[in-house]
Amino acid sequence: MNPSKLALSLISVVTLSLLVTPNATAQSQWLGFDREDFTLDGRKCYVVKPSELAPGRPWVWRARFPNYHPEIDLILLERGFHIDHIDTGGMLGCDTAMDHWDGFYAHLTGPKYGLAKKVALEGVSRGGLFVYRWAARNPQKVTCIYADTPVCDFKSWPLGQGKGIGDPGTWQTLLKMYDLTETQALAYKENPIDVLEPIAKAGVPILHIVSDTDKVVPPAENTDVLRKRYEELGGSMRVMRVAEGTAESKGHHFTHPDPQLPVDFIVKHTMSPKD
């Protein structure tokens, strides 16, 4: 090889190594539990550790708004689960975000943390775009999906093509993140509602909770469509319904009616996952 080309190749390898090697961890607390904060591939991350590890080192991966309805994760920490998060905020589940997620998964299942090779995914609101797109790419790495008022079709939110209120600014951000024209976005076939087949084939169980008065992410355009398609593919899915969300959130937020139910769901499918 030409010496100059060899030098450039070595520089590229070193640069890539620096990008994917996590920075030193900093210690903090999350609701009374020890938390390690670090940067991986330029993204802020954290790992919340249980006081006592459950067998198999199970973990939950929170996508977006990781402090929303934390009572579920607090119970899981008591049960010996790790609770982990990578901040890909503003990326709306695009391919670049999925690359960051792949790196985070590799790091957490690698020698430093040694967490289980199969993870329970939790997605809140736009977090649905992340958990379903990553699960479709990695169905054998997912024990179950629990989603809270999730976006399942970006034509519903942020576009607001149906009955939802939409968010024009976030729609423009999404087009940029996905590198799509509006025409291409309207024809896009990798929304959560479109990528369910590999998830169903892997037998991944799903639980959603939604508000029937949600004007931001209307269930009829998101969860209900996803459930119909998932069950048609032979998948197992359950939906918890809250009659009314708060007026301030336009129905999108609410007090969780039964945190123990998603806890039991995650424990059941993570502690005894399907091979």
For residues 32 and 95, what is the distance between their CA atoms, to the nearest angstrom? 34
Helix (H) or strand (E) holding 4: helix 3-20
Cα 219 to Cα 80, 214, 242, 256, 269: the distances in Å are 32, 7, 11, 17, 25
pLDDT digits (tens, 9 = 90+) for 148-196: 999 999 999 999 999 999 999 999 999 999 999 999 999 999 999 999 9
pLDDT digits (tens, 9 = 90+) for 115-130: 999 999 999 999 999 9
Look at the domain 26-271 and name its fold.
Rossmann fold (3.40.50)
Average pLDDT for residues 1-15, to the nearest whole number? 37
Question: Three-class SS of residue 200?
Answer: helix
In the block, residue with structure tokens 């590229």: 12
pLDDT above 80 for 11: no
Assign 3-state DSSP to the chain and report helix, strand, coil percentages, each to 5.
35, 20, 45
Angle formed by the axes of helices 127-137 and 95-108, nearest 10°: 70
Model-level pTM? 0.90
